[in-house]
């Protein structure tokens, strides 16, 4: 994977999709969420190291983004704009956790089911490998972990990662180099072929988050005062 530093152009249709969401066109909000759920979850989890907290941060991010969607002008991609919001929500949760003195809970939730043909032995081995790799990623220093999740797992460019995390591109490259070095020491070369399966956001988990955001926004709209 090359370190491309040129800024990514906004995807064609981002402003149009945002406008459709604001107009409450059928399916627009769900389309926006399903296109971004995995990236946002991985970004949040890279900061919070907890599946449930990460899901909640993504929900909070979507609700906040919806309320501010009229401010989106397409100066960056919609995905980058949403990622910044979710990262801020994740950092808020991290600060709140610290203030309350809550212990970190790195427990994993919602194991991804294995294909039907997989043997019990293969399933056990795959789960153990996933546990080792995810545990190693969780053990990275904070800055390195968030960079690794966005660059190596979600495959954002250096420029996109820097924009999302508020870092310089040089700092992103340094953090990614350090993260890879630390991971090589702990799990060797096994991380490459299977990285896309980790911190997955498919199936029931994705459906659950989409439904939860729909419910929260519906309640907010029902409670909002009528326009003057």
| Coil, helix or strand at residue 142 | helix
pLDDT averages per 10-residue partition of the chain, 228 residues: 42 81 91 92 89 92 93 89 93 82 46 47 66 79 86 86 90 91 69 56 78 83 63
The rounded distance, in Å, linking the Cα atoms of 213 and 211 is: 6
CATH of domain 113-199: 1.10.10.10
pLDDT of residue 111: 42
The topology under which CATH files domain 11-103+200-228 is Rna Polymerase Sigma Factor; Chain: A (1.10.1740)
Distance, in Å, from the CA atom of 37 to the CA atom of 63, rounded to the nearest integer, reads 13
Please say whether the beta carbons of 87 and 165 come within 8 A.
yes
Question: What's the pLDDT score for residue 206?
Answer: 84
* pLDDT (0 to 100) of residue 12: 43
- Give how far Cα 32 sits from Cα of 54, 69, 88, 146, Å: 18, 12, 19, 23
The answer to whether the CB of 62 falls within 8 A of the CB of 213 is: yes
pTM for this predicted structure: 0.64
Q: Give me the residue spans of the domains in the chain.
A: 11-103+200-228, 113-199
pLDDT of residue 138: 84
Q: What integer pLDDT is reported at residue 143 of this predicted model? A: 80
How far is 114 from 117, CA to CA, in rounded Å? 8
Count of alpha carbons within 13 angstroms of residue 164, beta-carbon side? 35
Closest alpha carbon to 84 in 44, 140, 53: 44
Q: How far apart are CA 74 and CA 82, in angstroms?
A: 12
Q: Which helix (H) or strand (E) holds 191?
A: helix 191-194
Specify the pLDDT at position 95.
Answer: 85
Look at the block and give the residue holding tokens 């995390």: 165
């Amino acid at each position: 994977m090359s370190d491309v530093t040129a800024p990514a152009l906004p995807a064609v249709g981002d402003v149009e999709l945002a406008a459709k969401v604001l107009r409450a066109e059928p399916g627009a909000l769900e389309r926006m969420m399903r296109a971004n759920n995995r990236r946002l979850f991985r970004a949040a989890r890279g900061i919070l190291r907890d599946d449930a907290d990460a899901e909640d941060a993504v929900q909070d991010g979507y609700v906040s983004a919806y309320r501010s969607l009229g401010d989106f002008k397409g100066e960056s991609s919609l995905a980058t704009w949403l990622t910044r919001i979710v990262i801020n929500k994740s950092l808020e949760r991290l600060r709140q956790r610290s203030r309350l003195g809550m212990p970190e809970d790195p427990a994993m939730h919602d194991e991804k089911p294995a294909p039907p043909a997989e043997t019990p032995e293969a399933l056990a081995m795959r789960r153990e490998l996933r546990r080792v790799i995810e545990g190693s990623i969780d053990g990275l220093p904070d800055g390195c972990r968030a960079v690794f999740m966005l660059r190596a797992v979600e495959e954002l460019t250096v420029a996109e990662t820097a924009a999302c995390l508020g870092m310089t591109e040089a700092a992103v490259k340094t953090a990614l180099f350090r993260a890879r070095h630390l991971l090589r020491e702990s799990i060797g070369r096994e991380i490459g072929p299977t990285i896309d399966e980790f911190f997955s956001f498919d199936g029931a988990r994705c459906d659950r988050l989409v439904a939860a955001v729909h419910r929260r926004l519906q309640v907010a709209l029902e409670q909002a005062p009528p326009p003057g």
